[in-house]
Amino acid sequence: MSLLEVRTLVAGYGDANILNGVSLDVAAGRIVTLIGPNGAGKSTVLKAITGLINRRGGTVTLDGLEISALATEQIIAAGVGYVPQVANVFPSLTVAEHFAIGGGGDRAEARERVLGYFPLLRPQLRKMASVLSGGERQMLAMARALMLRPKLLLLDEPSAALAPQIVQSVFDRIAAIARDGVAVLLVEQNVKAALPISDYAYALQVGRNALEGTGPELLDDPRLHDVYLGVGGSQKPSPA
């Protein structure tokens, strides 16, 4: 049974629909990746799931609870962690302060658990987030989201602007998080890094499902080239 079920999701900005009936499933402990060209609607899917944009149709169900009509804070409380691509840390706060604002209950226990995934952050606890490297900032953003013990972790382009040697380290940690039972829905342009660790993947084109399969299957699918070129698309892509 899927932890997250998205069915025929329609959503957009202003009067324009970006998503035109997207459907997907994510099971607990699995990594599912959304790929596709710029403008396909990948980031919009994450924003629609978290209620950050207007959902106009379809349903979103988390662990049997329909969250389609809930406010963002209610969705987060229901067990969704979200890490946007940009502006995902507070530069004026220390690393330790990020852990403090991200946790509820036993914050000390939660911090130790999360530092197990990101040990490189331990010696940085007193540093301001503004002085961290790009890779450290990305790890901090994920760590803060994990402080609330989410059932589902949404990650938008975690490898963006990272040095190649850091990308593998970030994906290794994502895989470890999934092994511990967290469902991960990942938006990623770096298909060569993301698809090999993905249990399943969906390729989107102009806000619709175009292809799907296991990560390795999709990576080797010759039709993926056509998806990125827009072959078969009937609409002009809108911003993702």
What tens digit of pLDDT does each residue of 53-87 get? Answer: 989 999 999 999 999 989 999 999 999 999 998 88
How much is the average pLDDT of 146-152?
A: 95
Flag whether 206 is in a domain. Answer: yes
Which range of residues forms the domain containing residue 23?
A: 4-89+134-229
Q: How confident is the model at residue 124 (pLDDT cuts 50, 70, 90)?
A: very high
Q: Which helix (H) or strand (E) holds 35?
A: strand 31-35
Q: Which helix (H) or strand (E) holds 173?
A: helix 164-179
Flag whether 45 is in a domain. Answer: yes
Flag whether 98 is in a domain. Answer: no
Flag whether 51 is in a domain. Answer: yes
* Cβ atoms of residues 88 and 157 within 8 Å: no
Flag whether 158 is in a domain. Answer: yes
Flag whether 100 is in a domain. Answer: no
Would you state the structure tokens that stand for residue 80, as one six-digit string?
Answer: 């969704």
Flag whether 234 is in a domain. Answer: no
Residues 92-117 have pLDDT tens digits of: 999 999 998 866 667 888 999 999 99
The reported pLDDT for the residue numbered 238 is 37
- Provide the number of structural domains found in the chain: 1
pTM above 0.75, yes or no: yes
CATH of the domain at 176: 3.40.50.300
Name the nearest CA neighbour of 25 among 66, 60, 56: 60
User: Which of 23-32, 72-81, 157-166 bottoms out in mean pLDDT, i.e. has the lowest?
Assistant: 157-166
Q: How confident is the model at residue 240 (pLDDT cuts 50, 70, 90)?
A: very low
Flag whether 21 is in a domain. Answer: yes
Coil/strand/helix, residue 65: strand
Q: Is the pLDDT of residue 88 over 70?
A: yes
